[in-house]
Amino acid sequence: MNLFAESLRQMLGAEPRRPEKDDYTEEARKLHEFKKTPEERERRRRLLAEELANKKESFAWRKWRWPSIIIINLLFVVSYYYDIQLVEGALTASRVLGFHFADLNSALQVMLAFKEVLINLAIGVTTVAVLWWLVGGRSFCAWACPYHLLSEWVEMLHVRLAAKGWAKDYQLDRRLRTVLYVVFAVLAFVTGYTVFEWVSPVGITSRALIYGTLGGMVWVVLLLLIELFFVRRMWCRYMCPIGLTYAVVGSVSPTTVHYDLSKCLHEGECRKVCLVPHVLEITKKGRATKAQIDIGADCTRCAMCIEACPTGALSFRIKGLDKLL
């Protein structure tokens, strides 16, 4: 199995493929066989019971992520309110200390609508692409997006309501995101308008914070209510073309979440908290084809799986640099 190609398949909405016998490396095959032995199964059972009994809920990375989202968006608000001109614009397109920044998907929409490559947008796209490539493609979602933070808070409430039977988590087809990506691109090209920006809760929330334009927030609140009671993380998981755009960048990022098969107890705590649990299919018994694997392109680098893992099987890694440390 080509792990990179499989990662891209899943990013576009395909269901994770079960590995075939020839896909496993010798080291991974031996590890899987060893884990099936009665002695190792009993040892893992005891270890898991101990780890879960002693494990405390961790917010180690959220203590960095949540302030990151708040600070990034507050910079726009404060700069506009006090006319500092330190950060101009919004998340969709801005200028920071004279450097142009442009959200990849928004820039594509504008270029398709105007049917020309605007130099400032081209510069902004390059800047943003390099930045988020360095820190890990879909990190924008988990570390900068204001809607992501609102959705994350709603998800925490959703989990509590679902436990009481007051909310459901209906599954949608993940290919919907790819379809919407194409639909909005075609609409921009045909109509000459950036139609996506009218419905994007990311742009709406950003502009509402900065300029006080609250009309579009009715749509944002409606989305959050749907996510609260019916479809957990509906926009981020199934619909957002922005996430797909950054996932393309993230597919070749040097910063990844790394999985160590030898440490994994396969208890599934990581998948319970993951925004995009299909990227963690390899943590299921018998699924990892290598002993050491980088999590796929659709990963948001939110680190919630790292916080949830009781044995440290998941960790951040910078390719190349980890060999030097």
Domain layout of the chain by residue ranges: 3-10+19-54+254-323, 73-248
Structure tokens that stand for 131 in this block = 């930045």
| Residue carrying structure tokens 């308008």 | 193
Q: What is the largest CA-CA distance in the chain?
A: 68
Confidence tier at 291 by pLDDT (50, 70, 90) = very high
pLDDT of residue 67 exceeding 70, the answer is yes
Mean pLDDT value across residues 226-235: 96
Residues 6+ apart with CB under 8 A from 314: 257, 258, 259, 260, 270, 283, 295, 305, 306
Mean pLDDT value across residues 160-181: 95
Report the alpha-carbon distance of residue 193 to residue 199 in Å, rounded: 12
- pLDDT at residue 324, as a whole number: 40
pLDDT of residue 240 exceeding 80, the answer is yes
Q: What is the pLDDT of residues 22-55, one digit of tens each?
A: 999 999 999 999 999 998 888 888 887 877 777 7
pLDDT of residue 129 exceeding 70, the answer is yes
Give the whole-number percent of the chain exceeding pLDDT 90.
Answer: 62
- pLDDT at residue 323, as a whole number: 52
Mean pLDDT value across residues 88-108: 86
